[in-house]
Structure 1
Amino acid sequence: MKVGEVVTLLNSLVTELRRGTLTLAVLSQLRLPQYGYSLVQSLEKSGISIEQSTLYPLLRRLEKQELVTSSWDTTESRPRKYYVLSEYGLDIFQQLKAEWEKTSSELGSLLKGEEERESD
């Protein structure tokens, strides 16, 4: 496999890996209302970068799934659409978080075991 093909494959796999984690990351930040740009900043502070072209379709999908609700704030000079977890969304977020923690722990053990086998 050529270097360019390896890079393309790796980028594709990383994108696939990140896709589900971005949903969990976004849900984790919506316990309090946030607008898109503040959400991008909040995620970036935690080391998670997300493009606005990825975030807004994700927010629309989460709203369609009734995990988040949105409302417009027109009190400032520039109207902003705020998103927040619905009650249903909070429940789903907590279940996803538990599943993430379980899977992360299992995968961590698996990868640690792999490292130990390699050092033998």
Structure 2
Amino acid sequence: MIEKQAKAAREAGLVELRRGVLVLAVLSLLRERQYGYSLRQALAGGGMPIEEGTLYPLLRRLEAQGLLLSEWDAATAPPRRYYRLSREGERAYADLSAAWRAQATAIDGFLKGDDGK
């Protein structure tokens, strides 16, 4: 029983960690205009596969927060909705990137000498 609880706690920790870095990954990739599927492919190619049911609500939330702009391109078949950073999104990306680097440096210091177990 305790082993199952410990495993569930580890898995929950991994989910929370991934959720925290997903916004930064999406903002990073949307410095260039992309549509949802291309963004999903780029995330997967970078080692962060994501389900459509996670990505599209995240894009809508970031757009509602003013971090993204979107526009439909009907010149392609099928029409595609393209996303890119807004000015506020660019500022948020810069802030989050700086915070990420600082946190990564701190965590690297804590993990120094750790053999990965």
Q: TM-score, normalised by structure 2?
A: 0.91
Note the C-alpha offset of 1:6: 2.6
Note the C-alpha offset of 1:29: 0.2
Q: Matches of 2:31 and 2:23 in 1, distance apart?
A: 14
Gaps spanning 5+ residues in structure 2: where?
none
Residue identity over aligned pairs, in percent, reads: 46
Gaps spanning 5+ residues in structure 1: where?
none
Are residues 1:90 and 2:86 paired?
no
Note the C-alpha offset of 1:58: 0.6
Paired amino acid for 1:95: D
Q: Matches of 1:76 and 1:111 in 2, distance apart?
A: 48
Paired amino acid for 1:23: V
Are residues 1:42 and 2:45 paired?
no
Q: Matches of 1:46 and 1:77 in 2, distance apart?
A: 27
Larger Rg: 1
Note the C-alpha offset of 1:112: 1.1
Partner of 1:49: helix, strand, or coil?
coil
1:22 corresponding residue in structure 2? 22
Partner of 2:95: helix, strand, or coil?
helix
Q: Matches of 1:90 and 1:71 in 2, distance apart?
A: 17
2:7 corresponding residue in structure 1? 7
Partner of 1:3: helix, strand, or coil?
helix
Are residues 1:100 and 2:100 paired?
yes
Partner of 2:81: helix, strand, or coil?
strand
Q: Matches of 1:61 and 1:110 in 2, distance apart?
A: 33
- Pairs within 5 Å for 1:105-116: 105-112=105-112, 115=114
Instruction: Note the aligned Cα RMSD (angstroms).
Output: 1.5
2:56 corresponding residue in structure 1? 56
Note the C-alpha offset of 1:78: 0.7
Paired amino acid for 2:9: L
Note the C-alpha offset of 1:7: 2.4
